Structures are given as C-alpha cells and as structure tokens.
Amino acid sequence: MTLTSLVMGARAKDREAVILSNIDSSLQTAIILEGLPDGLSELDTLASSPNLTIARIAPGCMCCVGNMIMRVHLNRILRTKPARLYISVANSEHIEQLRLFLTQTPYDVLITLTDDIVCSTQ
C-alpha cells in the first residue's frame, strides 16, 4: 500500500516546500502537483532523482474538472508502486470528495490515506 498525503495550500510554492521538507530520499516517492509554482520550484532540483516521480496537472478542482486527468496520472504512478505519494491540492473546497474518490475501488486496496498536510498560508 502506498502511503498518501493530501497537501493543501493556496500557493503552489508553499505546498511544494512542505512536500520537499517531508520527502525521505531513501523511499520511492511520487508527487502529483496541481498548478505551477511562481518561478522555479525547489522540487525541480530533485527531478532527476531515481526515487522521485513528479507529475504536474493544470489547476482546477481535482474531483470535478480534473477527475480524468487526476485518474490517469494516479494510475500511472501507482503502477510503479511508490512507497509514498503526495497530492498537492490548491483548493480544499472539495477535499472530502477527493478523499472519497481515493478510498473507493480500485484505490482502496492501493493507497492508505494519512493525515492531510495543511500549509500555514492556507
């Protein structure tokens, strides 16, 4: 099972900094990032790491307009069986629907949701 955390915050740069501070470089880790950072992302410095997979998707509610895109990226990532997955979410308005989506078939046997990580600027 892949340990999965939802990371919430208004600014992509803040969410990415929080994820960066939580990454264990010894674990196979995947990150799905909603939106683009303002400028260079600190995560980009790790992009060539063999233990890290980063997928960026366009901003938009992941449980509404972004559901298909989210599903495609999530399925691709889970095929690699990462130990850790972070999903960066800009808008927490529909966070419960996203959590529900992640706890239903087929994801219920693939991931274990951990506590959400909320950026202090949320």
Tokens of 93: 């308005």
The domain that holds 73 is classified in CATH as 3.90.190
How many domains are contained in the chain? 1
For the chain, the average pLDDT equals 86
pLDDT tens-digit readout, 70-118: 889 999 999 999 999 999 988 777 788 889 889 999 999 999 999 999 9
Instruction: Inform me whether the pLDDT recorded for 7 exceeds 90.
Output: yes
The alpha-helical segments, DSSP class H, found in 5-105 are 12-22, 67-79, 95-102
DSSP lists the bridge partners of residue 56 as 33
For residue 49, what are the domain limits? 2-118
pLDDT score of 122: 44
Q: Give per-residue pLDDT as tens, 40-77.
A: 777 877 777 889 999 888 776 565 555 788 889 999 99
